[in-house]
A = this chain, B = another copy of it.
Amino acid sequence: MTEPAPSKRSRRSSGAITLRDVAMLAGVAPITASRALNTPDQVSPEVLNKVLDAVQRTGYVPNRMAGGLASARSRLIAAVVPSTVASVFMETIETLNDTLFDAGYQLMLGQSGYSAVREEALLEAIIGRRPDGIFLTGILPPGKGRTRLLASGIPVVETWDLTPTPIDMLIGFSHSEIGREVARYLLNKGHQKLALVRAEDERADRRASAFKETAAQHGCRTVIEANVGASRTLKSGREALSRILAQAPDTDAVFCSSDLLALGVMTEAKARGLAIPEQLAVVGFGDVPFVADMSPALTSVRINSADIGQQAAQFLIARAEGREVTPRIVDVGFSIVARDSA
């Protein structure tokens, strides 16, 4: 038994089934097989059948790298998140990914790790893949990364924040507004001694500033602030409350920059025998699914994360297909979901 003739395939070929193989089997030209798969109504039913049959028999899977190179459309979308673990952003990513997948796009995920240097390297790596669009968590400050992104001409959607000068498209909400609203909410409930538990990031910063400002305007001058740095854990929340109470034992309300921190604050309060909300009111941020069913149920700032993901996907797909998007800035808002804890 001799090997079947290598059908004059060059030595560089990877050996996998190609469109050429399918076309030969179907007895048509490669371009016709391509049309049968991509634009089936440009092809006669007879040819379509033959090609589809050949695909079946060979187990052919089109090489999207080659397709992307030839058509200058990669059908790849890149997403950048600070972190993936227990992150409030993952619901957005989940919806983004689902919507994209149903439209024939794949998602590339990059972690910026809350570090500017890493983010820059990441953006370079992303641009190298020539994605049809880029999803960014947060807004990108001026700098090398922003310049490169602008120069690349790739559609970009920034999210989870608002700015009058986005790179391209923007889907977010106002963190200052949240700070103000939560302060008003607590003040209206009669709380006097407000405190903040927050992580170190720019958006939490703006919520905190607006919160303190509004509190001051209403006669609450000293808002104790516990900054947990990058440690967004339950434990940090517990420790933060301890520090706050050491400084100001009469604190009667805390606004936390994440639900997990709020959970920590509540845990510590309960351990100290403080009644929630009678002695201490707690407000979280993110409204992750489980906080509604805790006991007491956590009052939190609700962001429609899934909505952000879906809209971002639709914007990116539209642009990838050459359609325009208007308006390019969308404020999805937020709401304070009042529950037992405040």
Count A-side interface residues using an 8 Å CB cutoff: 62
CA A53 – CA B206 in complex, angstroms?
41
Known: A111-B97, A111-B101. A106 touches B86 (CB 8 A): no
Contact of A290 among B109, B130, B234 (CB under 8 A): B234
Contact with B along A115-134 (1 / 0, CB 8 A): 00000001011111110000
Which residues of chain B come closer than 8 Å to A125, judged between CB atoms?
Answer: 101, 106
Across the interface, A85 reaches (CB within 8 A) one of B63, B90, B107, namely B90
State whether A267 touches B238 (Cβ < 8 A): no
A62 within 8 A of B: yes
B84 touches A93 (CB 8 A): yes
Distance from A109 Cβ to chain B, minimum over Cβ atoms (Å)? 4
A267–B289 touching, CB < 8 Å? no
CB distance from A339 to the nearest CB of B (A): 13
**Chain B residues with CB below 8 A from A234, complex form:** 289-290, 293-294
**What is the interface of chain A, defined by CB distance below 8 A to chain B?**
14, 16, 59, 61-66, 68-69, 72, 74, 76, 83-87, 90-91, 93-94, 97-98, 101, 106-111, 113, 122, 124-130, 148, 151-153, 233-235, 238, 260, 263-264, 267, 270-271, 288-290, 292-295
Listed by A's residue number, 13 A-B pairs whose Cβ atoms lie within 8 Å are A59-B151, A63-B69, A63-B128, A84-B90, A85-B90, A86-B86, A86-B90, A97-B110, A107-B110, A235-B292, A264-B293, A267-B294, A271-B295
